[in-house]
Structure 1
Amino acid sequence: MVAPAVQVPGTVPFVDDAAIEAFLDNQRNASGRVTLRRLASRDEKEFLDLVSASAELHGPWMALPSTPELYRAYVTRYAQPNEESVLICVRDSGAIAGVVNINSIIRGRFQSASIAYAAFAPTAGQGYMTEGLALVVRYAFEQLRLHRLEAQIQPENHASLKLARRVGFRHEGYSPELLYIDGAWRDHERFAITSSMVDIAPTPPHPTLPER
């Protein structure tokens, strides 16, 4: 279950890391190079600095908040129960290496979500995103008890396509004009991964899954 958010009137919601901490405590590879935590208000300055430093890297592929006002709205969005933003952090330094957004979580018979991800320039190309995205996939299946994650990627975004394949996503098709990005409807390659494709211990069905 997604960890609840606690909000004081007039403030940005405080996000509880308990679900991620419980997941990390159960990981066999706890000595990996990266760790995870949920996006929070306290990350504002570091996050905005990284977005500014990564403008060329993100190009037309990923639009992240670039002002304090946009950042606070972003944190508020991802404090909702059907959305989650997970930071990939370098274990030794605590530096934010990337972000993975788990969007539009749908329960019931679907138990699915869409994900989007971005590396940050200072640590890009060092394998942190591959390790971190694989960890987020396991978190989504083991802790959030999702069954399927989808990723929509523009055909020209070769780095993102390679990352999805490295982590084990399978290519499922091509959709013209799928998403509105950077002022136009963009074509996307569709990728997905399911819990049965990942070597994880079976989990009971989520409580929202219908009996029949």
Structure 2
Amino acid sequence: MSSWHNGGVSVFQSLRAVFHPSDAPAIRMPARLPERPVIVASGGVAAQPPIYLRPLTLDDEDEWNAVRWDNRDWLAPWDSGDPTHGAPLTFNTWIQRQRRSEEQGAGALFGIIHNGRIVGQISLGAISYGSMRTGVVGYWVSRQVAGHGFAPLALALLADWALADPDGPRLHRLEIAILPENYRSRRVVEKIGAHHEGLRPKYMYINGRWRDHETYSLLAEDAGEGFAARLMAARRSA
């Protein structure tokens, strides 16, 4: 029986090249993003965004819990869950797992900070290296700051780091999956110019059932002068 080959490499070798753990370097987490003011494309002016991203730590437990509790009803329709109904994580365990995820090159988590306070969260997970170099992005913002453009700016800052920063994970593709009725989140990806890739049936477990999601992507080739620079320039000219 002949084996299936692709370009002279067996399919099993190809899959090994995609997911082999030796291709997963530890993620070097920045103290904050952006690390310096953004050079806005229109005129080359350096500008400080109204938000920044930073890694969450054990010291953030009380503040993070307060923000999530205040927004529990606001976020409930979009919260993913565990279909196996495993035991819930404590904040301490969650942060410890995140540190291991960073060490293994598997994911990164940032708080969205405005005026020194946590107003949301953005994460990069399910990272694959090798011939794919892709990751999945999730985010939320507090209802108190919704409509201020913080979510698209957070996504832009994360994309600049994950796709184009030499000190970032240097991925090629970011994926964002959105429930079809989540119009606010759809506006986030539209503002940053994400590619609509179509509907994925039963993609994620939400509120007790598997739900279809619209998927969008950002590519390294899209970065240009920077996602955040373009977004901030567009806001200035609006």
Query: Structure 1 length as normaliser, TM-score?
Result: 0.78
1:73 counterpart = 2:93: yes
| SS of corresponding position for 1:33 | coil
Number of residue pairs the alignment of both structures matches: 182
> Which blocks of at least 5 consecutive residues in structure 1 are unaligned?
4-16, 202-212
Query: Does structure 1 residue 151 correspond to structure 2 residue 176?
Result: yes
Task: Please show how residues 1-16 of structure 1 align to structure 2 within 5 Å.
Answer: 2-3=27-28
Alpha-carbon distance between aligned partners in 2 of 1:35 and 1:2, rounded to the nearest angstrom: 19
Secondary structure in 1 matching 2:184: helix
**SS state at 1:59 partner:** helix
**Aligned 8 A contact 2:121 2:141 in 1:** yes
RMSD: 2.2
Name 1:167's counterpart in structure 2: 192
Q: Name segments (4+ residues, structure 1) moved above 6 Å.
A: none
2:51 to 34, 42, 52: 34
SS at match of 2:127: strand
2:60 — aligned with what?
43
Q: Superposition pairs for residues 77-88 of structure 1, below 5 Å?
A: 77-79=97-99, 80=101, 81-88=105-112
- Cα 1:167–1:144 shift into 2, 3 Å: same
Aligned residue identity for 1:138: D
Identity %: 27
Retained in 2: the 8 A contact 1:39–1:86?
A: yes
| Amino acid in the other structure paired with 1:70 | T
Cα displacement (A) at 1:87: 1.3
Q: Whose relative contact order is higher, 1 or 2, with alpha carbons under 8 Å and at least 6 apart?
A: 2
Instruction: Tell me the CA shift for residue 26 of structure 1.
Output: 7.4
User: What's the CA shift for 1:69?
Assistant: 4.8
Gaps of 5+ in 2: 1-25, 40-45, 82-87, 227-238
Partners of 1:24 and 1:30 within 8 A in 2: no
Aligned match of 1:10: none
- Matches of 1:106 and 1:175, distance apart in 2: 19
Structure showing greater radius of gyration is 2
Amino acid at match of 1:86: F
Q: 1:73 to 1:134 in 2, by over 3 A?
A: same
Give the residue type in structure 2 aligned to 1:188. Answer: H
Contact 2:37/2:48 (<8 A) preserved: no
Q: Which residue in 2 is equivalent to 1:60?
A: 77
* Counterpart secondary structure, 1:51: helix
**Distance in 2 of aligned mates of 1:56 and 1:23:** 31
Q: Which has the higher helix share?
A: 2
Matched, 1:25 2:25: no
- Per the alignment, do residues 21 and 97 of structure 1 end up closer, same or farther by CA in structure 2, a change over 3 Å counting? closer
Q: Tell me the SS of whatever aligns to 2:126.
A: strand
- What's the TM-score once normalised by structure 2's chain length? 0.70
